[in-house]
Structure 1
């Protein structure tokens, strides 16, 4: 007897999940009827489910509030969104509904902050944490933001020269933070992060450049490690070293009142994903509390900078399997109607895995396959799931179209993939939908951007368009700040 794809999932995972359910043989994601989207908008297709952004922010705030109450922690918690994960206006608008703050990483972030201030989304007392290695343009933009009244803009000092450059440009007194150059995980190719100032150099740096500078107030110590918040010896050891620096610095610097523990909450990459968020938050708050009590210093306010956790699980991509190629006795290649290199670049660049499930035909028999993209590049493929060294999908049938979805793709993929610009082999970027809910819970679908057209590539490459001189460049793309169309899917 043939076993269906649904049987495979049922015997392998706990299914359905919070995010994924079935309507007969069709997959639903947070109640979104994905096949209806495909039937109306076609494929390939990208979408962003905006309510998931607010949901994850709310969860993190709840976990920190509970931990602080449990441990009688006498400090505040501030949730920051790091904009590098996704700079899109719709992401920032959704995130800023939740009384949060933001973290920037380059000079070009600051005009976005200024635009959001003009729109009333960011206030003068919103924290703007400015990370990254700062050169002239970034310094000038930070100074302009502070000079124009952003009193809680805190540039994080990344190297010894930045403080003097900022002091020259900023008119009045200002606050700063210092980033710790943490030691990298043992398996890394180098020992210490290129970002920040070494553990042993932070106190001397404060004493030599900040302590007697009447214009500068040290308010924050910034700690971040590349692997993120993991329950392992490496993370807890680095946090412990950070706390030793904090308490030592606090004893000689009364103005220091905040500890930024960065980000690193993971996003779900498998139906078998397990991560105890509540435990990690509880233990982090507990460790900070204990270290400060032992040293007899006040506990700091805690800042986090969650990027992928904020926006990652809101995104998805849908492709159609166009054709199957039997290349040898064992390998069947399902060719999709787009490219992994261009639309999910992390799957190619760092071998990142996403949740992958068929959108339809769950009641059909399944087979083991490989997935190939449209580019003429041997690296344009996807060959395994996070929790198994294989991909299983309903059997290919030329007369029964098969659609597949990749989920929790909302962080980094657009910017790394060069959204709106050139794509590898000139594969066009897919149509993009925004999905929200109205006050009655109905799904609201908005077309954010159509699929790229050849004219956009011609203009970027300098060919111009028919009837247009190649030197007369038009504004690229459809910069749709006000979106094209809106409609409802009346489905709970």
Structure 2
């Protein structure tokens, strides 16, 4: 009878896979010896494997290039990275190596863009697509960027007031886009996205505010689907509705030449993940081409906004199982040495699913468990609801440490969890390791951020820190006769 952990994985999934393999009874991720990483840096830790960012960008570029060639598509393709997925400099630096563009969603994003321009990472011909609901600071920052000469900054109009706000702060001519308020999937609690302008109102909005505007021109129509690009009747129906709006606008607006397909590709959240990226790209390009040909209008340049797809599969989190609690006849709780609430908030906030695997002891018997975090919060756990099916791990043995890894966690976790700031129940932020390859392909690692200390957290809260008390003690110990 096959009762080992490796037997379970091999009979349940197609294993090994492109990024996962087993050597000496231990898991490797993209050729990275994870147990060696633990030996060097300890656990818990998070890591970012930077080459995966460039890999995913170039895969998408190839899919679109092939689809456009097959369809003799006459437009260009522009890959945009959504900075909200991860604002870290090492992520932007890696992504920008690949001749991409940027999508922003808030005022501080523009500050990042300006610093990247100063460093030569972003050029004048880099598109900066400004999404999101815009008010004072965001409007001022967009205007500052355009007024300094970055003409490829394209604010996307989200509501009826934004055009006048932009016009009052931008000094010369500028280009804008309009975001479609798409209808949400039937299972949603609301019918229409809160972002953008409704399908039926876009042409009237253009006629009333943009058609005769002295300085603004409409360049882009922005189409965003909250559930991402998926092969569903809902997605294809919304895309066709979008194309009707594009065609109607194009017939009366010669300056409109771009379609921004928001909503990204899904990322791998299980070893059973199956998604035909190439097919989806071919079908999108084919449907856009067909709709434009039938209407007799020129096809648009295609922009895509990929956030999670760009950075998600580069990230991982590693924990050690500290202890096992048998709470009743059926439930065994493996307690990790960190917290899901603080380090992977998507797992408890929206039941986000990630690949979870043991890192060692694959050649031993397995058992069904639940995973619990260190906080006293009842929501600090990870179970079958998030994991798609029951969780099995090698049997807990106090004398044999067990390490587990969560993979493809690179998008959103740090920003939602509050990296560098206060954490739920003051569980500290884990250390963060950067992994890269040198020119010879050899793996290199460096410590990006150490684990938070109690002094850092207490300082934020306004308590005296150890350093402050030590400095005051030193002052008090100075002899009286030496004081001024």
**Superposition TM-score tier, normalisation by shorter sequence:** over 0.9
Inter-partner Cα distance in structure 2 for 1:341 and 1:75:
44
Deviation at 1:201, TM superposition (A): 0.4
Cα deviations by residue, 1:283-342 (Å, 9 ceiling, x for unpaired): 000000000001100000000000000000000000000000000000000000000011
Cα deviations by residue, 1:239-297 (Å, 9 ceiling, x for unpaired): 00000000000000000000001132000000000001001000000000000001100
Cα deviations by residue, 1:25-52 (Å, 9 ceiling, x for unpaired): 1000000000001111110010000000
Partner of 1:25: 25
Partner of 1:158: 158
Inter-partner Cα distance in structure 1 for 2:467 and 2:228:
52
- DSSP 3-state at the match of 1:416: helix
Report whether the alignment pairs 1:209 with 2:198.
Answer: no
TM-score (norm 2): 0.96
Deviation at 1:388, TM superposition (A): 4.3
Partner of 1:16: 16
- DSSP 3-state at the match of 1:149: coil
As a proportion of its length, which structure holds more helix? Answer: 2
Cα deviations by residue, 1:161-208 (Å, 9 ceiling, x for unpaired): 000010010010000000000001111111100000000000010011
Partner of 1:312: 312
Partner of 2:178: 178
Cα deviations by residue, 1:99-127 (Å, 9 ceiling, x for unpaired): 00000000010100000000000011100
Work out whether residues 269 and 386 of structure 1, in 8 Å CA contact, stay in contact via their aligned partners in 2: no
5 Å-filtered alignment, 1:74-223, equals 74-223=74-223
5 Å-filtered alignment, 1:428-467, equals 428-466=428-466
Cα deviations by residue, 1:397-428 (Å, 9 ceiling, x for unpaired): 00000000000000000000011111111000
Larger Rg: 2
- DSSP 3-state at the match of 2:237: helix
- DSSP 3-state at the match of 1:325: strand
Report whether the alignment pairs 1:391 with 2:411.
Answer: no
Partner of 1:476: none
Inter-partner Cα distance in structure 1 for 2:377 and 2:2:
35
Partner of 1:226: 226
Work out whether residues 355 and 385 of structure 1, in 8 Å CA contact, stay in contact via their aligned partners in 2: no
Inter-partner Cα distance in structure 2 for 1:199 and 1:169:
28
* Count of matched residue positions in the alignment of Structure 1 and Structure 2: 469
Q: In the superposition, relative to structure 1, how do residues 257 and 192 fare at CA in structure 2: closer, same or farther (>3 Å)? A: same
Work out whether residues 220 and 260 of structure 2, in 8 Å CA contact, stay in contact via their aligned partners in 1: yes
Partner of 2:69: 69
Work out whether residues 272 and 387 of structure 1, in 8 Å CA contact, stay in contact via their aligned partners in 2: no
Deviation at 1:462, TM superposition (A): 1.1
Work out whether residues 125 and 152 of structure 2, in 8 Å CA contact, stay in contact via their aligned partners in 1: yes
Deviation at 1:3, TM superposition (A): 1.4
Work out whether residues 77 and 302 of structure 1, in 8 Å CA contact, stay in contact via their aligned partners in 2: yes
- DSSP 3-state at the match of 1:346: helix
- Deviation above 2 Å: which 4+ runs of structure 1? 385-389, 466-469
**What root-mean-square deviation, in Å, do the aligned CA atoms of Structure 1 and Structure 2 show?**
1.0
5 Å-filtered alignment, 1:265-280, equals 265-280=265-280
Report whether the alignment pairs 1:350 with 2:350.
Answer: yes
Partner of 1:51: 51
Q: In the superposition, relative to structure 1, how do residues 13 and 386 fare at CA in structure 2: closer, same or farther (>3 Å)? A: farther
Work out whether residues 333 and 369 of structure 1, in 8 Å CA contact, stay in contact via their aligned partners in 2: yes
Work out whether residues 21 and 29 of structure 1, in 8 Å CA contact, stay in contact via their aligned partners in 2: yes
Inter-partner Cα distance in structure 2 for 1:120 and 1:128:
15
Partner of 1:302: 302
Partner of 2:337: 337
Work out whether residues 289 and 299 of structure 1, in 8 Å CA contact, stay in contact via their aligned partners in 2: yes
Partner of 1:481: none
Of 383-392 and 82-91, the range deviating more from structure 2 = 383-392
Structure 2 unaligned residues grouped into runs of 5+ = 470-484
Structure 1 unaligned residues grouped into runs of 5+ = 470-492
TM-score (norm 1): 0.94
Partner of 2:261: 261
Deviation at 1:466, TM superposition (A): 3.4
